[in-house]
A and B are shown apart, each in its own frame.
Chain A
Amino acid sequence: MNRIDQLFAQKKQNVLNVYCTAGFPTLESTLPVMQALQSAGADLIELGMPFSDPLADGPVIQDSSTQALKNGMTLARLFEQLKDFRSSIQLPVILMGYLNPILQMGVENFCRQCAAVGVDGLILPELPLPEYEKEYQAIFEKYGLYLIFLVTPETSEARLRRLDAASKGFLYAVSSSSTTGKDKDMGDQTAYFRKLQALHLKNPVLIGFGIKDKGTFTTACTYSNGAIIGTAFIKAIANANDALPATVKSFIQGIIA
């Protein structure tokens, strides 16, 4: 069973998914951050593959991506770093990123390496649904990789249903149409969250974008199975240096305790 399914079979409420950029804050931070997230009590890890031109991201995640690339991060190096990660990490892990580096590596080669190291799913926001169904789905399935789709407040109901049908593991509900890290008021989005609930979607729903603390996490969780934190976490660990595990722990505890 895919680890993402296992997670949602066991836990239906307050699922905490944390985004971190691979190779940030230092090249060798990838694994220590993931290990710290696991021991601090996160449920899911979304590992960002750094890209030079991250169109959907605000300044904080952009800068983390730039820093990771400066640190020497590449997709090939990421797979080296992840080689043995399953010996210490049991949480489901999703790789999130932009398509171009994957195209350069070759889609099948990329998927094979994901499967070999133990990655469970992918978030590829630029991959069009029809192209996924036509050219990618069979490859992803062959390697047991779940593709998670995004929906936004502007997504029509018909399309929501299409995306829910195609999505595996969970559905990623973007809280407001924005780049990552925008401080839009979650309170304005309750109508949209209620609509999502009323649709009785096939997938569990995690809400992301704008979740930055206990308050926003709790609000999101009242309407969904859990939430995703990115920018706030990247900010918290940006200058953690030696104190990384402690910083991660206090950040996560501040959200879920």
Chain B
Amino acid sequence: MKIAENTFNSPYQADKNGFYGRFGGAYIPEMLYPNVEELQLKYKEILADPSFQEEFQQLLTDYVGRPSPLYLAKRLSEKYGGHIYLKREDLNHTGAHKINNTVGQILLAKRLGKKRIIAETGAGQHGVATATVCALMNMECVVYMGSVDIKRQAPNVARMKMLGATVVPATSGSETLKDATNEAIRDWINNPVNTHYILGTAAGPHPYPDMVARFQSVISEEIRKQLLEKTGKEIPDYVVACIGGGSNAAGAFYHFLDEPSVRLIAVEAAGHGNDSGESAASTVLGKVGLIHGAKTLLMQTDDGQITEPYSISAGLDYPGIGPMHAHLFESGRGTFLSATDNEALAAAFELTRLEGIIPALESSHAVAKLKDLALRPEEVVVVCLSGRGDKDMEAYIRNLDKF
């Protein structure tokens, strides 16, 4: 395995300034410039370094437990047609795809000589994955998390604390992922020398979207190999993934971006419905704007104030999407769907009962759209099952008698 090298000249990859079409870039105040510039100048070189590759691959294998299985979900396939494979990121150490990125970034932080790590988290999976690698590497760890999310993802807060991280509540705005990210960025501004910011999704200023996508690209690299072994063909008809900022989707799509026959399906959170005023579906409700240093599709008022999103899923409760995805949307390369809270809950219960797999609420949004694909019997679908549902048991129990 090798971390994706940008050797092909894909229109769906970041250009040298971090733009995907008209989206991306690095719109940051001067106080962040030296840190972000350092990353921009060094990330490709560090990622390409053989000793980095070796350490990264070893940790992915021995610590994360990769490759993650590609599982043919027979009963789900019977119900929706086609051959539905689940890419089991939920079986990774710490329970989600987030660890692929944090392992990569902690190794990078070490090579940059950083001593202190900060992160934002929504569902808490990225916070746990960051606290985990910080424990492993003996680094100080501070995680910012919206107060609303601290309540709705309590098990992950406990895990972070046990792992030795300091969890700082973000109390502004809707007290969710956007606000946690604001606080993490402010921390970085105030600690310009010794701190690395492990951003947890394919968003933020260049080079984060590209760097995170590269660390997550192991997902599609494995899918290709595993499909070849299982079906004799590397290329599926569909790849389906949920989108908060877009890191699991970026990883699952990465090695299929330039395979035009593969339909890339991105699923956003529609909360109570896209007309309800309580949704997080940025491609439906957003316009071009700037959030967290990147130009992308953003939910906002006519006055350009960022609006507060809503989703039952803390990991998808974000008013923007990563710039790669904004470009996939605008160029038509990706198909963007959205799933409501209720559709996601129904999908979670169905997957649990058909396959014995309790998914994370985020991942359930991806599973929920299988019903909309109208699959033909011969078609092959890969759904990125980005995480497991342990953290969401409270929401599931609350809804047990509805489904």
Shortest distance from the beta carbon of A49 to any chain B beta carbon, whole Å:
10
Q: Which chain B residue shows the least CB distance to A52?
A: B305
Partner of B303, one of A55, A101, A149: A101
Q: Which of A165-202 contact B (CB under 8 A)?
A: 174, 177-179, 182
| A-B complex: 4 closest residue pairs judged by Cβ atoms | A101-B304, A104-B304, A125-B29, A177-B192
Q: Which of B92-131 contact A (CB under 8 A)?
A: none
- Cβ proximity bits A95-114 to B, threshold 8 Å, 1 near / 0 not: 00011111111000000000
Chain B interface residue count, Cβ-Cβ cutoff 8 angstroms: 34
Shortest distance from the beta carbon of A186 to any chain B beta carbon, whole Å:
16
- Cβ proximity bits B282-305 to A, threshold 8 Å, 1 near / 0 not: 000001111111000010101111
- Cβ-defined contact, B34 with A100, below 8 A: no
> Is B306 interfacial (CB 8 A cutoff)?
yes
Bound-state Cα–Cα, A126 to B27, Å: 5
Extra contacts besides A100-B306, A150-B29 (6): CB < 8 Å: A55-B292, A104-B303, A126-B293, A155-B34, A177-B192, A178-B190
Stretch at the interface among A14-22, A25-33, A68-76, A228-236: A68-76
> Is B25 interfacial (CB 8 A cutoff)?
yes
A residues sitting closer than 8 Å to B (CB atoms) are 51-53, 55-56, 58, 62, 66, 69, 74-76, 98-105, 125-128, 131, 149-152, 154-156, 159, 163, 174, 177-179, 182
Chain A residues near B33: list those with CB within 8 A: 152, 154-155, 159
> Is B214 interfacial (CB 8 A cutoff)?
no
Shortest distance from the beta carbon of A133 to any chain B beta carbon, whole Å:
13
16 interchain pairs, CB-CB under 8 A: A51-B304, A52-B307, A53-B173, A55-B29, A55-B189, A99-B27, A100-B298, A101-B305, A104-B303, A104-B304, A126-B27, A126-B293, A128-B28, A149-B30, A152-B192, A177-B192
- Cβ-defined contact, B306 with A177, below 8 A: no
Given A103-B304, A177-B192, residue A55 in contact with residue B186 (CB < 8 A): yes
Shortest distance from the beta carbon of B316 to any chain A beta carbon, whole Å:
19
- Cβ-defined contact, A69 with B305, below 8 A: yes
Chain A residues near B292: list those with CB within 8 A: 55
Given A56-B29, A128-B25, A177-B189, residue A103 in contact with residue B288 (CB < 8 A): yes
Bound-state Cα–Cα, A77 to B28, Å: 26
Given A128-B25, A131-B25, residue A100 in contact with residue B31 (CB < 8 A): no
Shortest distance from the beta carbon of A193 to any chain B beta carbon, whole Å:
17
Chain B residues near A102: list those with CB within 8 A: 304
- Cβ-defined contact, A174 with B190, below 8 A: no
- Cβ-defined contact, B34 with A51, below 8 A: no
Interface centre among B26, B291, B306, by most chain A C-beta atoms within 10 angstroms, is B306
Bound-state Cα–Cα, A127 to B290, Å: 11
- Cβ-defined contact, B30 with A150, below 8 A: yes
Chain A residues near B34: list those with CB within 8 A: 152, 154-156
- Cβ-defined contact, B27 with A127, below 8 A: yes
Given A53-B178, A126-B28, A179-B190, residue A75 in contact with residue B185 (CB < 8 A): no
Q: Which chain A residue shows the least CB distance to B287?
A: A104
- Cβ-defined contact, A76 with B30, below 8 A: no
- Cβ-defined contact, A55 with B182, below 8 A: yes
Q: Which chain B residue shows the least CB distance to A98?
A: B290
Chain B residues near A174: list those with CB within 8 A: 30-31
- Cβ-defined contact, A53 with B291, below 8 A: yes
Given A53-B173, A62-B172, residue A177 in contact with residue B303 (CB < 8 A): no
Chain B residues near A179: list those with CB within 8 A: 31, 186, 189-190
- Cβ-defined contact, B304 with A178, below 8 A: no
